Amino acid sequence: MPKFKYIFNPTTLNFEMISFTVRDYVWLVLKYLIVGLVIGGLGVILYASFFKDPETSRLQKELKYMDAQISGMREQMDSLDQYVDVLQKRDNEIYRTIFGAAPIDHKYVGGNRYNEIAKYSSEEGIIETQNRLMAIQQNLIQQSKSYQEIMKLAKKQDQFLAGLPAIQPVDNKDLKRMASGFGYRIHPIYRVARMHTGLDFTAPIGTEIYATGDGVVKSPDGGSGYGLHIVIDHGFGYQTLYAHMSRMAVRPGTKVKRGQIIGYVGNTGVSSGPHLHYEVIKNGQKVNPAYYFYNDLSPDQYAALLERASQSGQSFD
């Protein structure tokens, strides 16, 4: 570096030589240093903007891909939420109502089990997504348990409907075999008014008798004046009794179906003539069997049967 420099003197109109001072040297170095730093910084910025290293480029692509995936997952979760809401409303308002089950409170608040990811910049989005997934999972598990309960109720309902004594115990579509109804009637032998706890169907000896609902044949009680008789336990608190039979077609312990032949009309026990005495017992109380003959009769036939069953008169037993 030169030790002297020349400057123009406007008075003499000549270039005059002067020597460099320390201050001049320092300023000159600083000037070059500042210019170099500025140029270098601009270079770094330009390079970073237009010439990215492979690792940075790869990471940026992965982040962009992850953002797109998270966005897609949120849309799918929105659809799942709507679908779960539909299932829950249908469950409470239809299925559980049909089977008399109490509605379920499906509300669920997912807890934050993901504190370990809170140190990342995208923590809020990740935690929100994870908690929504957990909430949907819990709701679906709860819904699955509800459907299992509904299936059990439906199965019981099918068993209840199959076991309900809903047909007449003998062939009586013309309603001519109804002889005596439920209520106080004159006893044919004792000639006094007594409570008649069933219905009497007149029919020739040997007429087929049908089980009025699914059930299991029980061992009958003896010494009741019913003669040869059968009791069927239908479950759900229902039993039926078939009395004065000539013979039985099933034994105690046999499982029977509605409409199955279980015996034949007779005149055994305390009876004034061949007939079937039929009773329905609900939770230990004898009730009017006529109220249950709706499965094999038209509305007009059912109304006519109820009228005949309500008429007073004399019973056959």
Which has more pLDDT, 216 or 189? 216
> What integer is the mean pLDDT of 114-134?
62
Q: Return the pLDDT at 269.
A: 86
Please state, in angstroms and rounded to a whole number, the distance separating the CA atoms of residues 111 and 123. 15
Q: Return the pLDDT at 311.
A: 61
- What confidence tier does 112 reach under pLDDT thresholds 50, 70, 90? very low
Question: CATH top-level class for 178-310?
Answer: mainly beta
- What confidence tier does 114 reach under pLDDT thresholds 50, 70, 90? very low
- What confidence tier does 110 reach under pLDDT thresholds 50, 70, 90? very low
| DSSP result, the chain | --SEEEEEETTTTEEEEEEPPHHHHHHHHHHHHHHHHHHHHHHHHHHHHH---HHHHHHHHHHHHHHHHHHHHHHHHHHHHHHHHHHHHHIIIIIHHHTTPPP-----------GGGTTSTTHHHHHHHHHHHHHHHHHHHHHHHHHHHHHHHHHHHHHHHHHS--S-SS--TT-TTEEE-SEEEE-TTT-SEEEE-SEEEE--TT-EEE-SSSEEEEPPPSSSS--S-EEEEEETTEEEEEESEEEESS-TT-EE-TT-EEEEEB--SS-SSSEEEEEEEETTEEE-GGGG--SSS-HHHHHHHHHHHH---B---
Length of the chain as a residue count: 317
pLDDT digits (tens, 9 = 90+) for 280-316: 999 999 998 888 887 776 777 777 777 766 665 655 5
Q: Return the pLDDT at 53.
A: 66
Q: Point out the least confidently predicted range of 75-89, 102-116, 216-230, 278-292.
A: 102-116
Q: 90-124: b or e for each residue (b if 16 or more CB lie within 10 Å)?
A: ebbeebbeeeebeeeebeeebeeeeeeeeeeeeee
pLDDT of 192 higher than 70: no
Token pair listed for 149: 């309960």
> What integer is the mean pLDDT of 263-283?
90
C-alpha of 275 from chain center:
48
pLDDT of 238 higher than 70: yes
Q: Point out the least confidently predicted range of 53-67, 234-248, 270-284.
A: 53-67
pLDDT of 107 higher than 80: no
Which has more pLDDT, 287 or 93? 287
Please state, in angstroms and rounded to a whole number, the distance separating the CA atoms of residues 58 and 218. 80
242 Cβ partners below 8 Å, 6+ apart? Answer: 169, 209, 229, 230, 231, 232, 262, 263, 276, 277, 278
What percentage of residues in the chain have a pLDDT greater than 90? 21
- Per domain, the residue ranges of the chain are 4-50, 54-163, 178-310
Which has more pLDDT, 228 or 294? 228
Q: Point out the least confidently predicted range of 109-113, 151-155, 282-286.
A: 109-113
Which has more pLDDT, 148 or 277? 277
Instruction: Tell me how crowded residue 163 is: count the other CB atoms within 10 A of its CB.
Output: 23
pLDDT of 249 higher than 70: yes
